[in-house]
Amino acid sequence: MNIEDIIKNKKIKLTTARIALLEILQKAKKPLSYEDIKADISMDKATFYRNIAKFEEQGILNSFESNDKKRYFELYLVPHAHFVCVSCNKIECLSDLDIKLDGYVVNNVIVNGKCKDCI
């Protein structure tokens, strides 16, 4: 499904800034912070976070806070775990780590440790 369809299906006002923001996250290979995105979008920080909140509320985005105290965002496609290096703060998606708990819905799992480069 393309970005415009996602926004329309959630009955959110379609703007070029919102499309641009979601396209950046769609193309990313890992979750991104505001600092990673700000140079590529034409919206101020307050507008960015208002849009992020709206997208999270509608189940379009997922976010988490990392060791570096930054919030990271990604499109909410399939629940999966993230590995966060405690040394260099590198973040990787762990699509092969499947965690299921009977009677629970797991949205996000953060695994902390040292990455291959920091061992």
Rg (CA), the chain: 15
Domain of 27?
Answer: 3-113
Q: How many domains does the chain contain in total? A: 1
Q: Establish if 76 belongs to a structural domain.
A: yes
pLDDT bin (cut points 50, 70, 90) of residue 107 is: confident
pLDDT in tens, 7-64: 999 999 999 999 999 999 999 999 999 999 999 999 999 999 999 999 999 999 999 9
Q: Which two tokens stand for residue 49?
A: 């976070």
In this structure, of 32-41, 75-84, 93-102, the range with the lowest mean pLDDT score is 93-102
Q: Establish if 28 belongs to a structural domain.
A: yes
DSSP H or E stretch at residue 17: helix 16-27
Q: Establish if 108 belongs to a structural domain.
A: yes
Q: Establish if 119 belongs to a structural domain.
A: no
3-state secondary structure of 35: helix
| Phi-psi label, residue 45: left if phi above 0, alpha if psi -120 to 50, beta otherwise | alpha
Residues paired with residue 81 on neighbouring β-strands, in sequence order: 94, 109
Q: Establish if 118 belongs to a structural domain.
A: no
pTM: 0.86
| CATH number of the CATH domain containing 20 | 1.10.10.10
| φ, ψ for residue 103, nearest 5 deg | 85, 5
